[in-house]
Amino acid sequence: MRNKLTIYLLSGGLALLLLALISLYSGVYRFSDASVWKILMQGLSNPAAIAPGDHYVLFSLRLPRMVMAMLIGSALAVSGTCLQGMFKNPLATPSLVGITSGASLFAALAIVLGAGLKAFLPEMLQYSLISIMAFLGAILTMTLVYRISNTNGKTNIVIMLLAGVAISALAGAVTGFLTYLTREEQLRDLAFWTLGSLGGASWVKNGILTVVVTVSFVLLINKGKALNAMMLGEKDAAHLGIPVEKLKKQIVILAALMVGTCVAFAGAIGFIGLIVPYILRLIFKSDYRIILPLSAILGSILLLCADTVSRTIVPPAEIPIGILTAFMGAPVFIAILVRFKKSM
Amino acid sequence: MIKAQNISFAHRKFRILDQVDLSVGNHELLVIVGPNGAGKSTLLSLLANETESNEETIFFKDKRFSEWSSKALAVHKAKFSQQNNADIPLPAKDIVLMGRYPYFNSSPGREDLQVVADMMKATEVAHLAERNYNALSGGEKQRVHLARVLAQLQNDIEHKLAFFDEPLNNLDIKHQFNILNTIRQFTRKGNSAIIVLHDLNLAAQFADNVLLLKNGKVVAHGRPQVVFTEAVIRETYNFPCTICPNPITKNPMIIFGIQRNSNT
């Protein structure tokens, strides 16, 4: 079981690496030297030796964007898997439960209200502020939805989804209003918030994301056993020595942190937290010991794929990445609903 | 092993348990019986540290539950709960393996897998190991969870305690006896078990002691011969009955629906 997981993780990592190379190659801009690898190596050792165009495209556009796609894909997939474990349902994902909307709302608030501060704060601090606000929005909505839908350790799925709809509607309205009022460029682009985009990738954002993702993964990735036990019900999990309340708090805080940061930097990219665990469940049943670590890799692969396609399918334009994830996610959503209906 | 003094429990001013005293020793198999709504399951979940009572008057191995670490508790006691019908898309053996979660970190050792196989054999679900849990029948699911609870307490610690809340639901007669025999073997090794049962005859046959509850109060507590008397049972269940010695085991045998006219 241990060895199998290692093999899956390794082959997933390899696939991701291959995909990363392909992603660096693809795009409207053609490098003067055909080998990206060469430019990459040279750029690190002797930046002056390569064409400035090549250097800019690779190091300031494609590379940060690729890294951001991997980090966000991974973060969204892992938070989706953890939420499903906590709510004990495959429909509990950041976007359906309304957490993404809550985070968007608070991020938008931070951008609008923080506009005046922009001149005085260093870039790092600005982005940290936005992601902290998005985190607060995420944690607030998550707590609210959990409180509304949970009675005696059991989640009422219908209530959970409807609470998500209600919160999304409210957050959407307020975000829309803010967008309408403000002159802030980032908010101006409504598509950015509603459909998500990795176009704003930068090394500063990647730095913050890396810290958030690393901390969360260290604490969450080994919770597979605990999430499996949670399927028995919270009381039975407690009899197995699982600290249920502590686990739930950890998941709420860390998932909110990850989703919040992702939303702050890339808008509301939906469905990754739904698709990734769904695919893994098809192959590995519901064993969180396997699907939790694997969702970190598959999330990266999926979002990197989607992003590469989104910027190459209609050159020289770029379609919002959320359109692609929704194309994949909506059928999965329907498939889960159909199965859910059967089990009722 | 476990001692509870004067435990009461109320839910929204409605008294469910009223000053129950109870103690279970090593090697003891205690069966809790009583009519519906007597507070049996509530008592069991209080004793198993599932529900917190206001006053801490339960001593497990001379310590309050709050003095135990949750890890240590998980290898000293286990509980089989009543509603185990949740949707768990895993093979049956993975559910039994959950009973070994307190014993390994990321992947199970050879011993853990051996215990899983042994316990599945003991509850006669070994042939279902690879089957999807959701596709099992009610009785099979029940036995899978029993195997899980038994697997949790397979260790070298002396004097462990297992709780079972109506473990025989959905089971046919052969499996009922098999499960009770397995539990009795467990108690023979110095361990204790507390079981909530509905079948008084099975209780009389397997229990060392019986606790009869009604409306949250202890009606009788002691050996089956002491608790199962015609007057007490008739009164408690509000139903006519006759009790005679079992012709083979000499334990009390309760026959409901028939009343001896001994008084007239």
Looking at the DSSP bridge assignments, the partners of residue B78 are B162
Chain A positions in Cβ-Cβ contact with residue B94 (cut-off 8 Å): 228, 285, 287
* Token pair belonging to A164: 């998500």
- For A118-152, the DSSP string reads TTTS-HHHHHHHHHHHHHHHHHHHHHHHHHHHEET
B106 to A222: CB separation less than 8 angstroms, yes or no: yes
Q: What confidence score (pLDDT) does residue A191 get?
A: 61
Beta strands at B77-80 and B161-165: parallel, antiparallel or unpaired: parallel
A285 to B86: CB separation less than 8 angstroms, yes or no: no
Task: Tell me the whole-structure pTM to 2 decimals.
Answer: 0.89
Quote the minimal CA–CA distance from A256 to chain B in Å: 26
Q: What confidence score (pLDDT) does residue B54 get?
A: 62
Instruction: Read off the pLDDT of residues B147-177 as tens digits, 9 standing for 90 and up.
Output: 999 999 999 999 999 999 999 988 999 999 9
Per-position pLDDT tens, chain A of length 344? 567 889 999 999 999 999 998 888 887 777 766 677 777 777 777 777 777 777 787 788 889 999 999 999 999 999 999 999 988 888 888 888 889 889 988 888 888 877 777 677 777 787 888 888 888 999 999 888 888 888 776 777 788 888 888 988 998 888 888 877 777 666 666 666 677 888 888 898 899 999 999 999 999 999 999 999 999 988 899 999 999 989 988 998 999 999 999 988 888 888 899 999 999 998 888 899 999 999 999 999 999 999 999 888 887 888 888 888 888 888 888 888 887 777 65
Render the burial of A238-272: b for 16+ CB within 10 Å, e for the rest.
Answer: bbbbbebeebbebbbbbbbbbbbbbbbbbbbbbbb
Beta strands at B77-80 and B14-24: parallel, antiparallel or unpaired: unpaired
Using CB atoms, pick whichever of A5, A241, A286 lies closest to residue B70.
Answer: A241
- The whole-angstrom separation of Cα B230 and Cα A152 is 40
B152 reaches A (C-beta below 8 A): yes
Looking at the DSSP bridge assignments, the partners of residue B222 are B210
Q: What is the ipTM of this complex?
A: 0.90
Distance, CA of A147 to chain centre: 23
A236 reaches B (C-beta below 8 A): yes
B88 to A231: CB separation less than 8 angstroms, yes or no: yes
Question: Half-sphere exposure of residue B24, counting CA atoms within 13 Å on the CB side?
Answer: 31
- The whole-angstrom separation of Cα A196 and Cα A284 is 30
Using CB atoms, pick whichever of A2, A239, A287 lies closest to residue B94.
Answer: A287
- The whole-angstrom separation of Cα A313 and Cα A304 is 14
Other CB atoms within 10 Å distance of the CB of residue A60 = 13
* Token pair belonging to A128: 């940290």
- The whole-angstrom separation of Cα A92 and Cα A87 is 6
Using CA coordinates, name the residue in chain A closest to B135: A343
Residues 6+ apart with CB under 8 A from B50: A235, A238, A239, B79
* Token pair belonging to A251: 């998941």
B79 to A239: CB separation less than 8 angstroms, yes or no: yes
B84 to A232: CB separation less than 8 angstroms, yes or no: yes
Tell me how far apart the terminal alpha carbons of chain A are, to the nearest angstrom.
Answer: 33
B81 to A2: CB separation less than 8 angstroms, yes or no: no
Give, for A81, the enclosing helix (H) or strand (E): helix A63-87
Whether residue B172 contacts residue B196, with contact meaning beta carbons closer than 8 Å, is answered with no
The alpha-helical segments, DSSP class H, found in A26-62 are: 36-45, 52-55
Instruction: Read off the pLDDT of residues B34-48 as tens digits, 9 standing for 90 and up.
Output: 999 899 999 998 999
Instruction: Read off the pLDDT of residues B180-235 as tens digits, 9 standing for 90 and up.
Output: 999 999 999 999 999 999 999 999 999 999 999 999 999 999 999 999 999 999 99
Other CB atoms within 10 Å distance of the CB of residue B205 = 18
What are the Cα distances from residue A27, in Å, to A14, A59, A153, A308, B88? 22, 14, 49, 8, 44
Quote the minimal CA–CA distance from B103 to chain A in Å: 10
Beta strands at B14-24 and B63-64: parallel, antiparallel or unpaired: unpaired
Per the listing, tokens 């695919």 go with A279
Instruction: Report the alpha-carbon angle B130-B136-B140, nearest 5.
Output: 95
Helix axes A157-181, A99-113, angle to 10 degrees: 20
- The whole-angstrom separation of Cα B92 and Cα B146 is 12
Note which residues in 187-246 of chain B have CB less than 8 A from chain A: none
